[in-house]
C-alpha cells in the first residue's frame, strides 16, 4: 500500500510539473558587476538582487570584477566561465559601445548571450535656464549655420556614449559630428558645473540625473532622446523625435550570460525575469534606483541588443572612430 501511494504521488508529480526529481539549472544565482562597488554596474546587480528575491531560495549574490569597464568580465566569460549557468553579468549602453568599437579586443556582441534588462534611462539635450536657445529648433538652426560656433560638453570623451548622443542628434540633420566643438568632462557633475559656469552651451546628459535640477530653473531640457514622452516628472518634456529629429538614445542597463550557456539555463533565467517584471512593485523598485522601466528578456532582448550594437558600429564608422 505504501509503495502504491508513493507511485501514485510520483505519477501525479510527473503529470503536473514534469519529473519529480527535476532541478533548476540555477543553483547559486550570482550577478557579476564589472566594476568597483557604488557605480552603475553595482546598481544594475542590485536591481537583479532585489527584483529576483522571490524567484530563488537564496539571494542573488553580487560579485565585483573591475577592469576595463567590463573588459575583464567579458574575457573571463569567454574563457573559464563561458557556460556558467549560475552567473549573469551587468552591462550598459557603454558596454555595447565598447563592443561596437573594439575596445574589448577580440570579444564582440557575438561572444555573449544578452539575457534581460534591468531598466533604462534616456539622453537629454540640456541648456542653461537663461540660454538663448528656447527650443531644439533654435539650437539645431544654429548648428546648421555653423556647428563649430556651439560648445557642447558631457561626461565622456570623444567616442563615448555621451559624445554619441550629440553625434546622433547632429547626424539627424546631416551635420558632420566631427566638426563639433566638444568638451569632455570627468563626469556628469563636472559637465553640469561647466554648463552653469558658461564654459559650454549645451550639455548632453541623462534624464534621470536631471530630477533634482528640474525645479530650480537653472537648466532646461530642450529634448528627451526617447521614442515617446516619458511619465511624470518628465511628461511635459518634448522628445527630439516629436520635434522632427530622428535622434534616440536609450541608456539601457541589463545582463548577459556566457555564449556557451545551455538553453535550459538561459531560458530559466529569462523566465525568472519575466515573472519578476509582472510582480507588483517592480516598476517602483526600478524607479527608486534611478531608472525607468524597460522589460525585455530572452531572445527578443538578445536580438534588440545585437541591433543596437550594429547601429552604434555604423555611427562610429561614419564619425571616423573606427575603420
Q: Which CATH class is domain 122-249?
A: alpha beta
Q: Which helix (H) or strand (E) holds 310?
A: helix 298-318
| Residues 6+ away with beta carbon under 8 Å from 167 | 177, 180, 315, 319
CATH classification for the domain delimited by 24-120+251-318, as one of 3.40.190.150, 1.10.1740.10, 3.40.50.450, 3.90.950.20: 3.40.190.150
The SS3 assignment for 211 reads helix
Residue 63: per-residue pLDDT: 96
φ, ψ at 204 (rounded to 5°): -95, 90
The grid coordinates listed for 230 are 516619458
CB-based contact 89:256 (threshold 8 Å): yes
Residue 14: per-residue pLDDT: 37
At CB < 8 A and 24+ separation, what contacts does 188-191 make? 188/154, 188/155, 189/155, 190/155, 191/153, 191/154, 191/155, 191/162
Per domain, the residue ranges of the chain are 24-120+251-318, 122-249
Sole residue written with cell 527535476: 22
The answer to whether the 24-120+251-318 and 122-249 domains have the same CATH topology is yes
Q: How far apart are CA 172 and CA 321, in angstroms?
A: 18
pTM for the full model? 0.72
pLDDT tens, the chain, 323 aa long: 433 443 344 334 333 333 333 467 899 999 999 888 877 788 899 999 999 999 999 999 999 998 887 899 999 999 999 999 999 999 988 899 989 999 899 999 999 999 999 999 899 999 999 999 999 999 999 999 999 999 999 877 788 888 889 999 999 999 998 899 999 887 677 888 999 999 999 999 888 777 777 778 899 999 999 999 988 778 899 999 999 999 998 889 999 999 999 999 999 999 999 999 999 999 999 988 878 899 999 999 999 999 999 988 987 887 777 88
Amino acid at each position: 500500500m505504501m509503495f502504491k501511494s508513493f507511485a501514485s504521488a510520483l505519477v501525479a508529480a510527473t503529470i503536473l510539473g514534469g519529473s519529480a526529481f527535476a532541478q533548476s539549472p540555477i543553483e547559486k544565482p550570482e550577478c557579476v558587476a564589472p566594476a568597483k562597488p557604488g557605480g552603475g554596474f553595482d546598481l544594475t546587480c542590485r536591481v537583479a538582487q532585489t527584483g529576483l528575491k522571490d524567484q530563488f531560495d537564496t539571494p542573488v549574490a553580487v560579485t565585483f570584477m573591475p577592469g576595463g569597464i567590463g573588459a575583464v568580465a567579458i574575457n573571463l566569460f569567454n574563457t573559464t566561465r563561458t557556460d556558467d549557468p549560475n552567473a549573469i553579468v551587468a552591462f550598459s549602453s557603454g558596454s555595447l559601445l565598447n563592443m561596437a568599437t573594439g575596445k574589448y579586443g577580440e570579444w564582440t556582441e557575438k561572444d555573449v548571450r544578452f539575457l534581460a534588462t534591468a531598466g533604462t534611462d534616456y539622453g537629454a539635450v540640456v541648456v542653461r535656464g537663461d540660454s538663448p536657445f528656447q527650443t531644439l529648433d533654435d539650437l539645431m538652426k544654429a548648428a546648421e549655420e555653423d556647428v563649430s560656433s556651439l560648445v557642447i560638453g558631457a561626461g565622456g570623451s570623444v567616442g563615448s556614449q555621451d559624445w554619441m548622443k550629440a553625434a546622433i542628434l547632429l547626424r539627424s540633420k546631416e551635420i558632420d559630428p566631427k566638426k563639433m566643438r566638444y568638451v569632455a568632462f570627468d563626469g556628469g557633475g563636472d559637465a553640469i558645473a561647466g554648463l552653469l559656469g558658461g564654459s559650454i552651451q549645451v550639455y548632453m546628459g541623462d534624464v534621470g540625473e536631471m530630477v533634482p535640477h528640474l525645479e530650480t530653473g537653472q537648466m532646461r531640457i530642450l529634448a528627451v532622446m526617447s521614442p515617446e514622452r516619458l511619465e511624470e516628472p518628465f511628461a511635459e518634456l518634448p522628445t527630439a523625435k516629436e520635434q522632427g529629429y530622428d535622434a534616440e538614445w536609450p541608456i539601457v542597463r541589463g545582463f548577459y550570460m556566457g555564449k556557451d550557456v545551455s538553453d535550459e539555463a538561459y531560458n530559466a533565467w529569462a523566465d525568472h525575469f519575466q515573472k519578476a517584471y509582472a510582480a507588483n512593485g517592480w516598476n517602483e523598485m526600478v524607479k527608486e534606483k534611478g531608472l525607468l522601466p524597460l522589460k525585455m528578456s530572452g531572445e527578443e532582448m538578445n536580438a534588440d541588443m545585437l541591433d543596437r550594437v550594429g547601429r552604434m558600429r555604423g555611427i562610429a564608422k561614419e564619425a571616423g572612430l573606427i575603420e
